[in-house]
Amino acid sequence: MEKYADLLDLAQAHTEREIQLRIAAIQHHANSGPGSDFCITCGEPIQESRRRHVPNAKRCAICQEAEERSRNPVRRSAA
Ligand SMILES: [Zn+2]
């Protein structure tokens, strides 16, 4: 039955690799996917021109700006 066990190991390893690849793909999709039609912050539709300009945008211009400002609060003063 040793061969059978080897096959099981192989199948399991293959499945685990497959799962990891799938998780990576999902995470990649979440981080840099095709973006959203609606702003994830305020729920307003994202302008088509903005979506064309920023294909993976998940926020409208206003919320994106607010998000970036809250993430990097006035970097210049640090210098
Ligand atoms: Zn918004």
Whole-prediction pTM: 0.48
Distance (Å, rounded) from C-alpha 55 to C-alpha 38? 13
**The pLDDT of residue 62:** 95
DSSP assigned state of 60: -
CA of 76 to the centre of ligand 1 (A): 26
Give the angle 43-45-74 at the CA atoms, nearest 5°: 70
DSSP reduced 3-state for 72: coil
Nearest Cα to 50, choosing from 62, 33, 41?
62
Contacts of residue 41, defined as CB under 8 A and 6 or more positions apart, other chains included, come to: 59, 60, 63, 66, 67
Q: Ligand 1 centre from 75 Cα, in Å?
A: 23
Query: What is the Å distance from ligand 1's center to 40 Cα?
Result: 7
Task: Indicate the pLDDT class of residue 56, thresholds 50, 70 and 90.
Answer: confident
Ligand 1 centroid distance, CA of 70 (Å): 14
pLDDT for res 43: 94
Question: pLDDT per residue over 10-47, tens digit each?
Answer: 888 888 888 888 877 766 655 555 678 899 999 999 99
Average pLDDT, the chain: 81
| pLDDT band (50, 70, 90) for residue 54 | confident
